[in-house]
Amino acid sequence: MNPNVLETQAIPLAAIRPILSDDISKNKIDRIMMALRGNDPDRKSIDLTEIRPLLLEDFSEAEITRVMMALKLSQANPN
């Protein structure tokens, strides 16, 4: 097993809104969800490695880092 290879960590799109709701405004979460869905409204999940590039155009680095930390922590602590 190569420790330098990134393991895919898909997260259901439906799980993102509740994860972010404690720390981020509803309006900002709506914008994040629109950016993540892109041109595929039927998309069910997204890999964590795909999120940062999709948010770069519309959000600051600090906001993106905040989103990423919340999502990664939720993966590490599912309860």
**Both tokens of residue 70?**
């919340």
Contact 24, 58 (CB under 8 A): no
pTM of the model: 0.81
**Both tokens of residue 53?**
């590039």
Residue 45 bridge partners (DSSP): 12
The per-residue pLDDT for 4 is 47
Average pLDDT per run of 10 along the chain, which is 79 residues long?
58 94 93 91 91 94 95 79
Amino acid (one-letter) located at 8: T
The per-residue pLDDT for 11 is 92
Residue 30: how many other CB atoms lie within 10 Å: 11
